[in-house]
Chain A
């Protein structure tokens, strides 16, 4: 069950009302942008992909499920767009960015650890632990890896992070 205001905005957006859709995006910008920064470890690319995600959401707004939260639907769209970018590097190779975009710092130690992990470890770990994807679903994204390989890599990353966070848990 969605909040009334969200329902109202979704229904308006489905009727073609773009300002209702923009309101929906504004309410979710920080969530989607944060997810993009974590997955891509590049602020400039994250910003471009955030816009692409919203555009993909607009193109598919008719297919929003009313029985699940909009945020979950939008995040799922985002994951596919992010994995596409990670695979193809379309945006990453088409724009110029400086050190500030990739040297990401934050007050949250765990977040800082995550964005500084190697790409493959970071993606698998975030998909599993933060976004709740199953290993089988992750395997679908990374066809080139065997299921056991993914599980092993995930386990190693989990312990690496545990080691670094031990004093704060």
Chain B
């Protein structure tokens, strides 16, 4: 192969189209063609620059608001997409090919490693790798941990594992009791802060990035998230309060009921008696046996609260439902959705009509599914409303 052949095959070489003998001949010949070798070096450098182009263009600020508006319109017009289009199938094919190439690359990397092992037969390398793996394991655990949590007395005093303390570090299994007229701040590094009020006691159950859990025994607290997904959970008896980027206020009242208030985002409440999604600015009462009450908006009117009480005590009574619908405001719709789930099928439609008059159902769900309490459809409708509220 001479330098003219090298020049002719240069693009194929750069595009990875040469293999076997042709490729080795090309590489041997390249040593004798300094001009072509220099050009290849430049082209490889250009390739590298192109694969790592910076994000040079600042998008206009109106893109996201315009998208939000369009998404709202979609609720009313669009039909569900149940089958992938031809375009999506092609997208999938492309992604599969790219992933396959990545996998092959990794496979070859691994193969190279195995060959290196068998050829060197160097036991010390194996030992070094085991040590390295152990170190990595500890590093992983270190980075997956949020421990220790930091306790500061904001006011007054508290006990840590039965002993008086002031500022301290807390770990999994530690028991914290805050004295009356005191308050304590418990910081979960990079995840959030718990403000524990006087007369409260709790135990830390887990201090991992994937799961930060506390068991609340008494009193009240407020959790403020500093991360988008802090994985924070409060456990009370068999009741689990799980945040989704939200702030939580949890209060155990004198009758041992748990009152939960969500702000910023939504919360999942799960108990053996049921489950509930609690939207931003809503609260609910979970009794000590795990029965979850209706969610109520924090700014709801007294008239709606009274009507809700009647609807709860006379489930399915059409007069109570009518009174509830009259008193309901836009922000009470998620309460209505829960009420609808609790009454007989025959009375659900009147509530459904009121809900969809304010929040048209999203694509892909039907009236029948909602009225028959299909879980998936109810969840989609819930998210559609919560997003707009």
Binding site for B on A (CB under 8 A): 4-5, 8, 12, 15-19, 21-22, 25-26, 29-31, 33-34, 37-38, 43, 46-47, 50-51, 54-55, 58-60, 62-63, 65, 67-68, 72-73, 76-77, 80, 104, 106-108, 110-111, 129-130, 132-135, 137, 140, 151, 155, 158, 161-162, 165-166, 169
Cα distance, A155 to B387, chains bound together (Å): 50
Contacts of B84 in A (CB 8 A): 60, 63
Look across to chain B and name the residue whose beta carbon is closest to the beta carbon of A81: B87
B43 touches A107 (CB 8 A): no
Which residues of the partner chain A approach B49 to less than 8 Å between Cβ atoms? 110, 165, 169
Which range holds the interface residue count of chain B? 35 or more
Interface residues of B: mostly helix, strand, loop or mixed? helix
Number of A-B contacts (CB under 8 A): 147
Q: Is the CB of B63 within 8 A of A169?
A: no
Residue B387 contacts which of A17, A108, A132 (CB distance < 8 angstroms)?
A: A17
Q: Which residues of B contact A18 (CB under 8 A)?
A: 68, 71, 383-384, 387
Chain B residue at minimum C-beta to C-beta distance from A62? B81
Contact B59 A80 (CB under 8 A): no
- Closest Cβ of chain A to B17, distance in Å, is 9
Instruction: Tell whether, in the assembled complex, residue B383 and residue A130 are in contact, meaning their CB atoms are under 8 Å apart.
Output: no
Return B128 CB to nearest CB of chain A, in Å: 27
Contact partner of B94 (CB less than 8 A), chosen from A21, A34, A137, is A137
Lowest 10 CB-CB distances: which A-B pairs, in order?
Answer: A16-B380, A33-B59, A17-B383, A76-B91, A129-B50, A169-B45, A37-B57, A106-B56, A34-B57, A111-B56
Contact code string B63-77 (vs A, CB < 8 Å = 1, else 0): 110111011001000
Contact with A along B43-64 (1 / 0, CB 8 A): 1011101110111111110111
B positions within 8 Å CB-CB of A? 11, 15, 39, 42-43, 45-47, 49-51, 53-60, 62-64, 66-68, 70-71, 74, 78, 81, 84-85, 87-88, 90-92, 94-95, 97-99, 210, 228-229, 244, 362, 364, 379-381, 383-384, 386-387
The residue from A31, A80, A107 contacting B91, defined by CB atoms under 8 A apart: A80
Known: A17-B383, A60-B84, A130-B51. A65 touches B95 (CB 8 A): yes
Bound Cα distance A15, B364 (Å):
11
B46 near A165 with CB under 8 A, answer: yes
Q: Could you list 16 examples of A-B contacts with CB < 8 Å? A: A5-B229, A16-B379, A21-B71, A29-B64, A31-B55, A50-B63, A51-B66, A51-B67, A60-B81, A60-B88, A63-B84, A65-B92, A72-B98, A108-B54, A130-B50, A158-B43
